[in-house]
Structure 1
């Protein structure tokens, strides 16, 4: 597989691993999303000024308002964070 295909496969695997914990197997509950953030994006949580920011991020990710994060909503988070990191690195 190419590097991009590998990255896509890893992204899907990470989502599926955490989504399988509780609730529906194809969505993240709030608890699953928090665990994913803690384990896979610890720098994001450290950068948050307080827990309320993390709660707001999780709420804002739920675009359709079903109290769960589906794969499309998850990809928006990852893409947004990737863009922010790319922009920050480009400025250095």
Structure 2
């Protein structure tokens, strides 16, 4: 039996590989694959965004080796950053509720 954290790690890996490899390298996300992943898996995150260049900006920020693709290590940085931002938001909300 796996733990919730192990399940979460497995889910991250499966989601990444579900979208990677549809174009080009099967272990990396192209810009199109990244956009599909963001649109399908992070709908709440993107729903309030009006910037038409948002995916380009995210791609440029994540693509640390500048190969115009996002590998799993680069993808995990996005997930970690969004998770930290969500945690920070919820902590702020809890502080507001205490007063």
List gaps (5 residues or longer) in structure 2: 94-99
Match of 1:55 in 2: 56
- The number of residue pairs the alignment matches comes to 92
TM-score normalised to structure 2 length: 0.88
Tell me which structure has the larger Cα radius of gyration: 2
Distance 2:86 2:50 in 1: 18
**Paired residues for 1:1-92 under 5 Å:** 1-92=2-93
TM-score by length of 1: 0.95
Cα distance in 2, alignment partners of residues 5 and 91 from structure 1: 28
Aligned residue for 2:96?
A: none
Q: Say whether the 8 Å CA contact 1:18–1:36 is kept in structure 2.
A: yes
Consecutive unaligned residues of structure 1, counting only runs of 5 or more, are none
